Amino acid sequence: MSQGLDDVIAAETRLSSVDGARGVLVVKGFSLDRLAGQKRFEDVAHLLFEGLLDDLPDAKAFAARLGAAREAVYPLAQYIDDALLALPPMDGVRALTARIEDGEDVATALRLLAAPAVLLPAFLRRRRGLAPIAPDAKSGHAADMLHMLTGEVPAPEVAAALDTYLVTVADHGLNASTFAARVVSSTWSGLTSSVLAGLAALKGPLHGGAPGPIIAMLDGIGKPENAESWIEDALDRGDRLMGFGHRIYKVRDPRADALKAAVKRMSADSSALPGRLKLAEAVERAALKVLHKRKPDRPLDVNVEFYTALLLEALGFPPDAFTAVFATGRTAGWLAHAREQRLTGRLIRPQSVYVGPEPAELV
Ligand code: ACO
């Protein structure tokens, strides 16, 4: 029995590999630094889907079909009502995604891939009392998402920063939400159900729910010189530091550096971002120092979520929407894994050890 399934191998995959000792992420034969900032999200999604979906169009047609899928799911924004707007954005996106019919075909996969990019901006605008903005099928996926959020066509480097983010988080081995998506897919339930399972698992703070609280931590710390004492106090209270530690990485998460580089590229044109970055770097240094002092035998380092928080804040997403932006990228991985699992035809059904009372008649 392995609590948390540490070291249990539960799938064979051609999609991605996470080398936790060396800090290397490989997606379909490419190391992350060959993809993040180099390829568009739609091309990486296409790369992940290759060999897994019947009638998958070539990469160029795939990007056009994804644009059309954004238009096809836009009418779901009409179901954003006051009850939905009272929920966190991640729950709102999950409820809206649940309206997409289940299926195993490329059209279903495209609608699911398009959904968060369209429905999250529509949700956030409605929450601010603004009308949603319709997608532009001809735009790049990341640029269109930002246009639907702000109403302005983003500068190329701003769209590129979101593109880098979506690519960076597109797939990451058998993480909790991907495993959840694979379990559901293994029952032959369908791609919508698998993506809903992924969304449900991702939102927890131990997985994709960490970056929102990171902003609260940075705001609470305020100035670099406060970092160490704030962190000591938080750990004294028994809190975990969001953005640090990882089940697989025993060294620095390579995605943190890909995102930090994107933040640095954006900060050249920003008045607020350089100061924010300086504060984040001071918090990172202080957190590592304190964590290493308190847990010398645990290799705790920075994870993907830390610089995610900075990047998504700079792009104009509110902290409570960060997890749903994460889902926008990770949906590509969930869909690919769900199809890969489905093609094995094998139901995932592990066993448990019963430690409860035995019936009296058997004792
Ligand atoms: N802050 C403080 N202490 C920590 C942290 C942290 N961020 N991470 C781990 N620890 C401590 C644990 O309390 C534990 O201490 P103990 O041995 O005295 O009990 C020890 O380090 C090992 O922790 P585990 O829980 O065994 O590590 P696990 O592999 O289960 O945890 C996890 C990984 C859940 C990510 C953890 O590091 C954590 O809670 N981090 C903060 C939340 C976070 O950033 N989540 C995003 C992860 S990235 C992603 O999913 C996309």
- pLDDT for the residue numbered 228: 97
| CA–CA separation, 198 and 175 (whole Å) | 10
Choosing from 3, 218, 242, 246 the residue with most ligand 1 atoms within 8 A of its CB, the one to mutate for a pocket test is 246
Model confidence pLDDT, tens digit, residues 30-79: 999 999 999 999 999 999 999 999 999 999 999 999 999 999 999 999 99
CA of 163 to the centre of ligand 1 (A): 28
Across the range 214-238, mean pLDDT stands at: 96
Of the pLDDT bands very low, low, confident and very high (cuts 50, 70, 90), residue 189 is very high
CA of 297 to the centre of ligand 1 (A): 13
CA of 247 to the centre of ligand 1 (A): 7
Q: What is the mean pLDDT of the chain?
A: 96
Q: Which of 78-82, 173-177, 206-210 has the lowest mean pLDDT?
A: 206-210
Per the CB < 8 A criterion, the answer to whether 65 and 112 are in contact is no
Atom of ligand 1 nearest to the CA of 304: 48
Would the CB of 302 count as within 6 Å of ligand 1? no
Model confidence pLDDT, tens digit, residues 270-328: 888 999 999 999 999 999 999 999 999 998 999 999 999 999 999 999 999 999 999 99
**Which positions are catalytic?**
246, 305
**Which residues, other chains included, contact 199 with Cβ-Cβ below 8 Å and sequence gap of 6+?**
90, 93, 94, 97, 177, 327
CA of 250 to the centre of ligand 1 (A): 11
One-letter identity of residue 140: G
Nearest CA to ligand 1 atom 44: 243
**How many CA atoms, within 13 angstroms, populate the side-chain half-sphere of residue 267?**
17
Estimate to the nearest angstrom the gap between the alpha carbon of 332 and the chain centroid.
10
- pLDDT for the residue numbered 270: 83
Closest CA to 198 of 61, 65, 343, 341: 341
Nearest CA to ligand 1 atom 37: 245
Atom of ligand 1 nearest to the CA of 244: 7
**How many CA atoms, within 13 angstroms, populate the side-chain half-sphere of residue 266?**
31
Angle among Cα 318, 323, 329 to the nearest 5 degrees reads: 115
Nearest CA to ligand 1 atom 16: 295
CA of 15 to the centre of ligand 1 (A): 25
CA of 245 to the centre of ligand 1 (A): 5
Model confidence pLDDT, tens digit, residues 83-131: 999 999 999 999 999 999 999 999 999 999 999 999 999 999 999 999 9
Choosing from 2, 169, 218, 240 the residue with most ligand 1 atoms within 8 A of its CB, the one to mutate for a pocket test is 240
Nearest CA to ligand 1 atom 22: 298
| CA–CA separation, 181 and 332 (whole Å) | 11
Angle among Cα 280, 305, 312 to the nearest 5 degrees reads: 75
| CA–CA separation, 111 and 73 (whole Å) | 6
- For 218-247, the DSSP string reads HHHH-SGGGHHHHHHHHHHTT---TTB--S
Q: Residue 186's CB: how many other CB atoms inside 10 A?
A: 19
Estimate to the nearest angstrom the gap between the alpha carbon of 159 and the chain centroid.
17
Contacts from 151-154 at CB under 8 Å and sequence distance 24+? Answer: none
Q: Which of 28-32, 52-56, 170-174, 358-362 has the lowest mean pLDDT?
A: 358-362
Nearest CA to ligand 1 atom 41: 242
Strand order across the 30-31 sheet = 16-19, 24-27, 30-31
**Which residues, other chains included, contact 56 with Cβ-Cβ below 8 Å and sequence gap of 6+?**
46, 49, 50, 62, 106
Would the CB of 245 count as within 6 Å of ligand 1? yes
Model confidence pLDDT, tens digit, residues 280-293: 999 999 999 999 99
Across the range 228-257, mean pLDDT stands at: 94
- pLDDT for the residue numbered 362: 84
Nearest CA to ligand 1 atom 26: 247
Across the range 223-237, mean pLDDT stands at: 97
One-letter identity of residue 292: H
